[in-house]
């Protein structure tokens, strides 16, 4: 019984990790007033870049950071459109979702001899697991805590972003830019600069989210790796009312229901596999209905500013 709970919680942390990075990225962008529906594309390019650099340089950390930068680059593209050229944020995001996978698969073919997936990393060249071997194998604590380093970094970043948002000048200004850009500008805040920064950082985070999939949870990149996780992260962020810590709980809840689904998948007959796979999505919807009353987005979300 205890082992089962450990298994479910461990699976929860594993599934939540890429969502945590990406949803935090979403929160950063949207708190500055720019809708970022392109998270999916940014994750994809991040996942590809991380897997590729890790493979060629044989170092997951460089790959991880590189995945972030690749996401940031797409973030920059999104920022140019949304901040400088008054793009409809949603439309630009949709474009990013075409460009990310398009470029990733194109480059994959280029680097890996015509196939659209990257080569599999050796086990010791993947993200390390800091608690590997500390606990007895498959014991309760081992199942929960023996996670990739990326998971712990993600949780740490939640609190970093929370701190920056609510306890620093930069965070206050960022949120003011997302709430009332005209007022922010009146007091001398450089709205455009803040928005550019936020969207680029958001891409960086989404890139890390993709990396945490391709070089930790699995060991290579291939086309359906991301399939919809960027959108789920977006949902988690809205569920978390655009705030870092509630967003973390939303991601963990989604991970938890995945954990339950994976656990049930092992014990019930195969006929019901699809019903079990549906659990995370259905449960999220039910929780939304039961617990979330109207959540308020940053007021200037999706709006434009004149410089």
Which of 145/213 has CB closer to another protein? 213
Least distance from C-beta 169 to another protein, angstroms? 30
**Contact pick of 137, 187, 266, 293 for another protein (by CB under 8 A):** 293
- Cα separation, 108 vs 114, whole angstroms: 7
Residue 109 interacts with another protein (CB under 8 A)? yes
Shortest distance (Å) from residue 130 CB to another protein: 33
- Within 21-60, the residues that bind another protein by CB under 8 A are 37
Contact call for residue 105 and another protein (CB under 8 A): yes
Nearer to another protein, 77 or 144 (CB): 77
**Residues 6+ positions from 187 with CB-CB distance below 8 Å:** none
CB of 177 to another protein, least distance (A): 20
- For the chain, give the secondary structure using H, E and C: CHHHHHHHHHHHHHHHHHHHHHHHHHHHHHHCCCCCCCHHHHHHHHHHHHHHHHHHHCCHHHHHHHHHHHHHHHHHHHHHHHHHCCCCHHHHHHHHHHHHHHHHHHHHHHHCCCCCCCCCCCHHHCCCCCCCCCCCCCCHHHHHHCCCHHHHHHHHHHHHHHHHHHHCHHHHHHHHHHHCHHHHHHCCCCHHHHHHHHHHHHHHHHHHHHHHHHHHHCCCCCHHHCCCHHHHHHHHHHHCCCCHHHHHHHHHHHHHHHHHHHHHHHHCCHHHHHHHHHHHHHHHHHHHHHHCCCCCCCCCCCCCCCC
Please tell me whether residue 90 binds another protein under the rule CB under 8 A: yes
Nearer to another protein, 84 or 138 (CB): 84
Dihedral sign, Cα of residue 30, residue 34, residue 40, residue 41: negative
Q: Does 139 bind another protein (CB under 8 A)?
A: no
Tell me which stretch binds another protein (CB under 8 A): 57-65, 102-110, 122-130, 161-169. Answer: 102-110
Whose Cβ is closer to another protein: residue 68's or residue 101's?
101
- Under the binding rule (CB under 8 A), the answer on residue 234 touching another protein is yes
CB of 235 to another protein, least distance (A): 4
In the bound state with another protein, the residue whose beta carbon lies nearer, of 37 and 201, is: 37
Does 94 engage in binding with another protein (CB under 8 A)? yes
Q: Which of 138, 183, 285, 299 binds another protein (CB under 8 A)?
A: 285
If binding is defined by CB under 8 A, does position 226 make contact with another protein?
no
Is 115 a binding residue for another protein by CB under 8 A? The answer is: no
Q: Does 299 bind another protein (CB under 8 A)?
A: no
Residues near another protein (CB under 8 A) are 37, 77, 81, 85-88, 90-92, 94-99, 101-103, 105-106, 109-110, 116, 224, 227-228, 231-232, 234-235, 238-239, 271-272, 274-275, 277-278, 281-282, 284-285, 288-289, 292-295
């Amino acid at each position: 019984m205890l082992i089962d709970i450990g298994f479910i919680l461990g699976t929860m942390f594993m599934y939540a990790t890429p969502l945590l990075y990406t949803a935090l990225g979403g929160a950063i962008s949207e708190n500055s007033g720019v809708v970022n529906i392109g998270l999916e594309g940014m994750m994809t390019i991040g996942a590809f870049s991380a897997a590729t650099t890790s493979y060629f340089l044989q170092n997951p950390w460089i790959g991880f950071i590189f995945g972030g930068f690749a996401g940031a680059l797409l973030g920059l593209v999104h920022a140019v459109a949304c901040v400088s050229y008054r793009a409809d944020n949603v439309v630009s995001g949709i474009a990013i979702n075409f460009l990310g996978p398009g470029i990733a698969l194109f480059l994959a073919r280029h680097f890996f001899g015509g196939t659209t997936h990257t080569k599999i990393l050796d086990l010791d060249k993947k993200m390390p697991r800091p608690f590997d071997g500390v606990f007895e194998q498959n014991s309760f604590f081992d199942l929960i805590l023996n996670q990739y380093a990326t998971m712990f970094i993600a949780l740490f970043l939640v609190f970093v972003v929370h701190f920056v948002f609510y306890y620093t000048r930069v965070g206050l200004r960022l949120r003011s830019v997302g709430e009332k850009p005209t007022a922010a500008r009146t007091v001398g805040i450089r709205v455009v600069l803040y928005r550019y920064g936020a969207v680029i950082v958001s891409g960086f985070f989404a890139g890390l989210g993709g990396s945490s999939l391709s070089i930790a949870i699995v060991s290579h990149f291939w086309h359906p790796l991301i399939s919809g996780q960027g959108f789920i992260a977006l949902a988690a962020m809205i569920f978390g009312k655009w705030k870092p810590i509630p967003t973390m709980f939303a991601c963990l809840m989604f991970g938890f229901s995945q954990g339950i689904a994976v656990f049930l998948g092992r014990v019930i007959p195969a006929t019901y596999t699809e019903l079990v796979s549906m659990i995370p999505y259905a449960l999220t919807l039910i929780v939304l209905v039961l617990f979330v009353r109207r959540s308020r987005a940053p007021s200037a979300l999706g709006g434009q500013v004149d410089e």
